[in-house]
Structure 1
């Protein structure tokens, strides 16, 4: 696994820390462990699949759906990071 540069330089995890390990767990079939490692793994995968599918299939409200799924993904990343930092320092 690639080390987190932010963690090496500053000693603090970045919002992306755990994504590689979560993807590895997901590929091994450890779905719950992947979610526990990085809760945003499923919204990220869904967003990527949706964006890929819009290249071939036209949806009625695709612009709204893209923004919705992107906001959901970003929100999940931010909230899970804040919870991780809160638990780390308390």
Structure 2
């Protein structure tokens, strides 16, 4: 796995810490462990699938769907990060 530069330099995890390990766990079939490690893994996977399908089949409101999925992912990532940092500093 690639090391996190933010964690190496400052000792604090970034918003993407755990995504690589969660993706590996997902492909190994450890679905619950992947979610617990990085809660946004499934919403990011959904966004990636939508973007891939959108390359070949154009949806009517594709732009709005993309923006909605991106905002949804950002909220999940930020929320999980805040919870992680709250537990880290306690």
Q: Which residue of 2 aligns with 1:7?
A: 7
SS in structure 1 at match of 2:56: coil
Instruction: Tell me by how many angstroms 1:25 deviates.
Output: 0.6
Instruction: Tell me by how many angstroms 1:13 deviates.
Output: 0.3
For structure 2, the 5+ residue unaligned runs are none
Give the distance between the partners of 2:54 and 2:24, measured in 1 at CA: 26
Instruction: Tell me by how many angstroms 1:57 deviates.
Output: 0.6
Q: Which residue of 1 aligns with 2:42?
A: 42
Q: Which residue of 1 aligns with 2:52?
A: 52
Which consecutive aligned stretches of 4+ in structure 1 deviate over 3 angstroms post-superposition?
A: none
Instruction: Tell me by how many angstroms 1:17 deviates.
Output: 0.2
Q: How many residue pairs end up in the alignment?
A: 90
* TM-score calculated relative to the size of structure 1: 0.97
**Root-mean-square deviation (Å):** 0.6
Q: How does 1:1-90 map to 2 (within 5 A)?
A: 1-90=1-90
Give the distance between the partners of 1:4 and 1:57, measured in 2 at CA: 36
